Structure 1
Amino acid sequence: YQDQLIALWKTIARRYQDEPAVAGYDLLNEPLPERTGAAKTFKAQLEPLYKRITKAIREIDSRHMIILEGADWANDWSVFSGPFDKNLVYQFHYYCWDSPAVLKSVQRFLEYRDRFNTPIWAGETGEKDNTIYWATTEYFEANNIGWSFWPWKKMDTQNTPLSVNPPGQWAAIAAYSHGGEKPSREIAQKAFDELLVNIRLENCVFFPDVVNAMFRRAPARIEAENYGQDGLNKSFFVKDAQRNSKRYRLTEPVVITARESTRRKSDQFITVTAKEWTAYDIWSEASKDYNLTIRVKSEDVSAEVQLVVADQVRRVTVNQKAWSEVNLDTITLAQGQNRVKCLVTRGVADLDWLELSPVGKNQQSASRGSPVLQR
């Protein structure tokens, strides 16, 4: 089917060669999964096929980027020998589906970028929770990697920016797709007609907390394990910088403990001793006051924690070994980028999360789904 694929791409190039809204051409999506045996059989043919497609496109369109994904769900880049076009981008896909969750390294992709002197980007990331969205997008941007969230819209979900309401008869359609009874023509027609209405942007449920997590902006809940990406003495300080955490961020020394997690939900906390600290970067669209809440417990008889934003200091004394949510005085974030520093001044503290919510509202009402996305 290679000739048919090349013919298809030539047709696409003819149509979009002058379209500025199209950034580039992604030649194959997640080709040759290893578990199917396809990678073993056809991997050696992938780059030669990419070269043939690119040559055909360039006969028509010399402007748009060519985007290349590796074998085995886009991430096996051993198929690449080096750039063969002046306007190439190499793409990988990044999902954190391990349990317990792990913020997986992208070092091997960075090494290819350096070797090839060619841009790379994360063409898919998502399908988890706000903890992972915050961590992965900050990780990518700290390494000058662009990213694309997937999916933007999905049916009946809460971990995407937009959720599509299921049509009334959708259960019958879904059951048939899994081997159930075939619905009548009338039921199927009604379900798909309703779907075309429901998927319109104005009819979707919008989850601003998901978007805020991706862009690390207030209002938001900041998970304690998602301290910044600038390294020792900039995003964190610990006394023993030679150790590595056994969970989540495996190449850094802040102690992280993982609790029960699933493919769609992660759950971690950090342990910080006296004089150690972590720092978090968060954006505010305007100079604004926020309610500040911390979820914390003490590992000792008592612990003290300071939260610092610019010249504002909020202190917490924790006298119990059970988790508690402590509401502090409001805090002002400046317009633009802000840094929240969490310093343990006495004892040993476990930190779960910090929350910045609009004054007069709690985070749940401020950030969970809105029935209609306002344009």
Structure 2
Amino acid sequence: MPSIGLEKGSLVVITGGHEVTGFLKAKGKKLINGEGREILLRGVGFGSWMLPEGYMWLFPDQGDRPRRIEQMVKELIGEEKAEQFWEIYYNRYTSESDIRQISADGYNSVRVPILARFLIEDSDGEVVRFHQAHLKIIDNVIDWCREHRLYVILDLHGASGGQTGTNIDDSEFDKPELFMNERNQEITVALWRMLAERYKDEWIVAGYDLLNEPLPEWFSAYNDQVMPLYKKITKAIREVDDRHMIILEGVHWATDWSIFNEKIDDNLMLQFHKYWNSPDTESIQIYLDKREEWNVPIYMGEGGENNKEWYAGAFRLFEDHNISWNFWTWKKMDKINSPCSVIQPAGWQQLIDYLEGGVKPDKAAAEHILWEYLHNISFEQCLYQKEVTDSLFRRPSTRIPAIFYGYHGEGISYGIMNRVDENIGFRKNDGTDIRFIEGSRTAPNFQHGKGEPWQADERLCVQLTPQDWFAYEFTVGHDSKASLYTVELRAFAPNERAWMAVSVDDNLIEIVEVIGESWGTQRLNNGFQLSPGLHRIVLKSVENRVRIDWLEVLPVNELEEK
């Protein structure tokens, strides 16, 4: 049985706020806090707050961006009531209650998406004037995060004119007018200079994310303008603030780093986003290579919009490669794949129908629906789904698909006697035996954008031959009340009977007999104790082949309660 120390290749999760202290900075490939200690950012994003996103409201394309949602609200209840609606919305959608819960959940950071139009009061003259009441909203979240020890990343999600030419930045004409109009760039530089001046002494601010997801590939003709603009913004920031980290995103949804041809600052972090595709090392290798080349930390600044099983794989991938991460998003309506789900108000379909050209609700009915929505968006009224956060940190009782064994490489995360040459398009360089559970021979499909459970006809399994082993890391939270744990797994024996050793933290817990040529679920007879922190399970075939679908670490007391 292999013996691997827990410290090897992975950072231990520290909760309680002690790692969040002092100005954060890049030092080589690491992030260092104010005490000089290494830290990984583990956070959530506040999608749809200062930049309302229609899909999080379940709206069709006619209500897919802030300006269209604002127009709908104004048409339904009038300008005066609309102003009241938005004032309540911005002050309630993210509150100290949300921040308190995020901190208690063990995250150490938040990413705050900002719409330039939300902050700009007037840009027609030579001097850009900013909306002080809206800046106060950012001040508030920074104050709450300082109190509850969460680093804050300020993210310009929607720049003046729009950096993507799509709904996600509130583009008016579906064109990236930030790169088509010099004035929009001047306003963007002025906005960042103002924010840097305002927060230059605020250590809880981790850094400045200059532009979210600039220029999808169909606007790649403007790609050569991104780095020059990054340089202009950085120069303006450094004229007033030399302590905060600069964060740069690639083009095409932050996935294309080919624009990074010059390291423009000494305190720099590069950001990519990851949605819906295979959570394996091959899929992020270009980012790992750039980290080595530039000797800078890297950050997965947005990932999510999938199901909990995918989260258990993808976010362990980031952890194993020492990549800071941020989950998207903390809160949205009527979904099972975010920590908070806003309960859909009665009559909400009337708003959807109206946007699609249907009957306009009368003013009283529309106001009732919208104010019920305002009631429902507060954290206290949301459906809190702890299991989503548990899946990100791989805490009990998260189900871990067996294909998501560790990402530290052969000899650390897995050991195999005979490498497999067949390539099914996932973890293709490992040489492990990954098989389709059903008969389909198509490439694995991870595009569960709506958060549906792991689908049987798309699920994969691993096969262990004698002496093969796979390792799975997981985390026990510091607030865990369980005294004993067990392991449940789904497996079968192609040759009718097999034996498999289950070890936890290098201690053999049980030799499991797997009987039958069809899938079955079985639980260990023996319980074991776990302290808070990072732990490691190893599954090793002892005799005959065994195929494994998934495993779960379960608190025994929860099973007894059931």
State the TM-score bracket (shorter-chain normalisation).
Answer: 0.7 to 0.9
1:353 and 2:550 aligned: yes
Matched residue type, 1:31: P
Which residue number in structure 2 is paired with residue 297 of structure 1?
Answer: 492
Which residue number in structure 2 is paired with residue 269 of structure 1?
Answer: 461
Which residue number in structure 2 is paired with residue 38 of structure 1?
Answer: 219
Judged with a 3 Å threshold, the aligned counterparts in structure 2 of structure 1 residues 273 and 175 are, in CA distance, closer, same or farther, namely farther
Matched residue type, 2:186: D
Which residue number in structure 2 is paired with residue 369 of structure 1?
Answer: none
Deviations 1:152-201 (A, max 9, x none): 11211111122111122322223334444433333332233222222222
Matched residue type, 1:109: Y
Q: Measure, in 2, the Cα distance between the counterparts of 1:357 and 1:248.
A: 28
Matched residue type, 1:257: R
- Of residues 530, 533, 536 in structure 2, which corresponds to 1:339? 536
Q: Measure, in 2, the Cα distance between the counterparts of 1:175 and 1:291.
A: 50
| Counterpart secondary structure, 1:55 | helix
- Of residues 253, 258, 283 in structure 2, which corresponds to 1:73? 253
Q: Measure, in 2, the Cα distance between the counterparts of 1:180 and 1:263.
A: 32
| Counterpart secondary structure, 2:490 | strand
User: How far does residue 151 in structure 1 lie from its aligned partner after superposition?
Assistant: 0.7
Q: Measure, in 2, the Cα distance between the counterparts of 1:262 and 1:278.
A: 22
* Aligned sequence identity (%): 37
Which residue number in structure 1 is paired with residue 501 of structure 2?
Answer: 306
Q: Measure, in 2, the Cα distance between the counterparts of 1:333 and 1:253.
A: 34
Which residue number in structure 1 is paired with residue 137 of structure 2?
Answer: none
Deviations 1:354-374 (A, max 9, x none): 1222224349x99xxxxxxxx
User: How far does residue 51 in structure 1 lie from its aligned partner after superposition?
Assistant: 0.9
- Of residues 519, 526, 538 in structure 2, which corresponds to 1:323? 519
Q: Measure, in 2, the Cα distance between the counterparts of 1:189 and 1:60.
A: 45
Q: Measure, in 2, the Cα distance between the counterparts of 1:197 and 1:20.
A: 33
Listed as ranges, the matches of 1:102-141 within 5 Å are 104-141=282-319
Q: Is the 8 A contact 1:96 1:103 kept in 2?
A: no
Unaligned stretches of 5+ in structure 2?
A: 1-183, 439-444
Listed as ranges, the matches of 1:184-203 within 5 Å are 184-203=362-381
Which of the pair is proportionally richer in strand? Answer: 1
- Of residues 186, 197, 216 in structure 2, which corresponds to 1:14? 197
Q: Is the 8 A contact 1:227 1:236 kept in 2?
A: yes
Matched residue type, 1:30: E
Which residue number in structure 1 is paired with residue 75 of structure 2?
Answer: none
Q: Is the 8 A contact 2:310 2:446 kept in 1?
A: no
Which of the pair is proportionally richer in helix? Answer: 2
Q: Measure, in 2, the Cα distance between the counterparts of 1:255 and 1:242.
A: 6
1:151 and 2:340 aligned: no
Judged with a 3 Å threshold, the aligned counterparts in structure 2 of structure 1 residues 81 and 191 are, in CA distance, closer, same or farther, namely same
Listed as ranges, the matches of 1:178-189 within 5 Å are 178-189=356-367
User: How far does residue 73 in structure 1 lie from its aligned partner after superposition?
Assistant: 0.7
Q: Measure, in 2, the Cα distance between the counterparts of 1:117 and 1:178.
A: 50
Q: Measure, in 2, the Cα distance between the counterparts of 1:27 and 1:185.
A: 40
Q: Give runs of ≥4 in structure 1 deviating > 6 Å.
A: none
Which sits farther off after the overlay, 255-264 or 320-329? 255-264
Which residue number in structure 2 is paired with residue 373 of structure 1?
Answer: none
Judged with a 3 Å threshold, the aligned counterparts in structure 2 of structure 1 residues 263 and 180 are, in CA distance, closer, same or farther, namely farther
Which residue number in structure 1 is paired with residue 236 of structure 2?
Answer: 56
Judged with a 3 Å threshold, the aligned counterparts in structure 2 of structure 1 residues 171 and 324 are, in CA distance, closer, same or farther, namely same
Which sits farther off after the overlay, 220-229 or 6-15? 6-15
Listed as ranges, the matches of 1:142-291 within 5 Å are 142-241=320-419, 243=421, 245-258=423-436, 261=445, 263-264=447-448, 266=454, 267-285=459-477, 288-291=483-486
User: How far does residue 247 in structure 1 lie from its aligned partner after superposition?
Assistant: 4.3
Deviations 1:19-67 (A, max 9, x none): 3332221111111001xx211x200111001111111222232222221
Which residue number in structure 1 is paired with residue 117 of structure 2?
Answer: none
User: How far does residue 283 in structure 1 lie from its aligned partner after superposition?
Assistant: 2.1
Judged with a 3 Å threshold, the aligned counterparts in structure 2 of structure 1 residues 17 and 348 are, in CA distance, closer, same or farther, namely same
Which sits farther off after the overlay, 24-33 or 306-315? 306-315
Q: Is the 8 A contact 2:338 2:388 kept in 1?
A: yes
Q: Measure, in 2, the Cα distance between the counterparts of 1:74 and 1:270.
A: 32
Judged with a 3 Å threshold, the aligned counterparts in structure 2 of structure 1 residues 245 and 362 are, in CA distance, closer, same or farther, namely farther
| Counterpart secondary structure, 1:357 | strand
Q: Is the 8 A contact 1:94 1:124 kept in 2?
A: yes
RMSD (Å) for aligned C-alpha atoms: 2.4
